Chains A and B, each alone.
Chain A
Amino acid sequence: MLYAEPIARLIGEFSRLPGIGPKTAQRLALHVVRMPREQAQSLAEALVAVKDRIIHCSICGNITENDPCRICTDPGRDPAILCVVEEPKDLVAMEKTREFRGHYHVLGGAISPMEGIGPDDLRLKELLPRLASGEVKEVVLATGPDVEGEATALYAARLIKPLGIRVTRIAHGLPVGGDLDYVDEVTLARALEGRREI
């Protein structure tokens, strides 16, 4: 072994993280060696705190410290509109827009028949009881604009529509500040399809 056991172990742990190869893991581990003790302590505590204190909201499925989460208990939000997203990071992206003031439902992934991820592997079964009270008037399907996201949106729409609730899908379109010339044909065709009057 070229490195002392604690360093080798740290390199091993780092290289298990997504996107971290052996070289990067080694660089990070050696950086930790040079770190002040307090900083390393703080990093270790932060890691453990995430595992100890973060749970899934029993209502929307978002990651949270308190159950129900901040969004589900916020009286200022509109309970009549529910936005369905794949992952907590998508919820954060929606929140950054500051345009959406309704509630969320996090599925925890998307249907991917090729990978063997079916509807039962997602939090779709938790969605229907939330709609049963009649309080929700519109469900916005904000799953990704890829094949898995479309499959998930179509499946969710199939479940929700019989309940008589309005189901909408977020628009597909052009990136702000982009150049039409550089946009692919499929996106442009969809943007054209979703055009609106100004």
Chain B
Amino acid sequence: MSLYSAEALVLRARPLGEADVVVTLLTREEGKVEAVARGARRGRSRLLAATQPFTESRVMIWRGRNMDSLSQAEVVHSFRGLQQELTRLACASYTAELLDHFLGEREPHPALYELWRETLHYLSRAEGRTPLLKGVHVFELRLMRILGYEPEISRCAACGGELGATLRFSLGLGGALCPQCFSRDPGASPVSAGTLALLQRLADTAWDRLHVVELGPWAPEVQRLLWAFIAFRREGTLKTREFMELVCGAPEEGVNNK
């Protein structure tokens, strides 16, 4: 057995036995790691606060034969803002499940760690459903980018040529199609140029500049397209999405999406 230290964000925590917790951590150094936090449900445990979902901690972990175990943890950032608003909590849970869904164990992705940390920072301060939704979409797009699934939205995904005024989006070919390539995927669905432009802006805008991006009338289509894209890349249902829709409400059409 060996001991290693890591910077970690808690993806999820589930109870084990009487007083233990199994935490799924996203560590900067080792990627996704499962570890047992012994006694972490007892009121006075030092591990209690550090094993709450979304908490960022500096941790010491024993590498075990079957499962690692959390030896020490010091909270770096608790993202308390998330627990003050149900909508924030719902969006953060969705990002956690998405990460858990896409990541295999022990595949280090320092960029993903950074992305989720920034996302949690943003979500823990965002006010109102539209800024939250923007944060969620930025996370989705950048997650896809880091994992190599980024949708092609600036040129034709099939021929690489310029995109015309009439557009379709192909899940199978991974992006927008120009009219000449529509036949390459008969299942491709029509998409508006505004939606593609918005996706591009969301993907490229820095977190602290996100307030200048307006979702406008394209919000519902952006959401549908991203969710279809994610579902196409990785099968399985995301339980948190339903809850996020329940507490944040269905996407609004029209003008109130500033």
Contact across chains for B43 and A175 when beta carbons are under 8 A apart: yes
Contact across chains for A150 and B83 when beta carbons are under 8 A apart: yes
Contact across chains for A116 and B46 when beta carbons are under 8 A apart: no
Residues of A within 8 A of B (CB): 18-19, 111, 113-116, 118-119, 146-147, 150-151, 154-155, 158, 175, 178, 182, 184-187, 189
How far apart are the CA atoms of A115 and B239 in the complex, in Å? 7
Minimal Cβ-Cβ distance residue in A for B76: A185
Q: How many B residues touch the partner, as a band? A: 20 to 34
Q: Determine, out of B50-58, B141-149, B167-175, B183-191, the stretch whose residues face the partner at the interface.
A: B50-58
Contact across chains for A116 and B239 when beta carbons are under 8 A apart: yes
Q: Which of B18, B50, B54, B247 touches A155 (beta carbons < 8 Å)? A: B247
Nearest chain B CB to A22's CB is how many angstroms away? 14
Contact across chains for B49 and A113 when beta carbons are under 8 A apart: no
Contact across chains for A19 and B18 when beta carbons are under 8 A apart: yes
Contact across chains for B244 and A113 when beta carbons are under 8 A apart: yes
Q: Which of A146, A154, A184 touches B50 (beta carbons < 8 Å)? A: A184
Residues of B within 8 A of A (CB): 12, 14, 17-18, 43-44, 46, 48-50, 52-55, 75, 78, 80, 83, 85-86, 89-90, 93-94, 96-97, 239-240, 242-244, 246-247
Contact across chains for A185 and B75 when beta carbons are under 8 A apart: yes
Nearest chain A CB to B117's CB is how many angstroms away? 17
How many pairs, one residue from A and one from B, have CB atoms within 8 Å of each other in the complex? 66
Contact across chains for B97 and A184 when beta carbons are under 8 A apart: no
How far apart are the CA atoms of A151 and B53 in the complex, in Å? 12
Q: In the complex, which of the residues B14, B96, B247 has the most CB atoms of chain A within 10 Å of its own CB atom?
A: B247
Contact across chains for A186 and B46 when beta carbons are under 8 A apart: no
Contact across chains for A114 and B97 when beta carbons are under 8 A apart: yes
Chain B residues with Cβ under 8 A from A116's Cβ? Answer: 239
Q: Which of A151, A185, A187, A189 touches B86 (beta carbons < 8 Å)? A: A151
A-B contact pairs, 15 of them (CB 8 A): A19-B18, A113-B90, A113-B239, A113-B243, A113-B244, A114-B93, A114-B239, A118-B243, A150-B89, A154-B89, A155-B86, A178-B44, A186-B49, A189-B78, A189-B80
Chain A residues with Cβ under 8 A from B240's Cβ? Answer: 113-114
Chain A residues with Cβ under 8 A from B96's Cβ? Answer: 114
How far apart are the CA atoms of A111 and B242 in the complex, in Å? 13
How far apart are the CA atoms of A142 and B252 in the complex, in Å? 34
Nearest chain A CB to B149's CB is how many angstroms away? 22
Chain B residues with Cβ under 8 A from A118's Cβ? Answer: 242-243, 246
Nearest chain A CB to B72's CB is how many angstroms away? 12
Chain B residues with Cβ under 8 A from A151's Cβ? Answer: 86, 89-90
Contact across chains for A185 and B49 when beta carbons are under 8 A apart: yes
9 interchain residue pairs of minimum CB distance: A116-B239, A184-B49, A113-B243, A154-B86, A113-B240, A186-B49, A113-B93, A150-B83, A186-B78
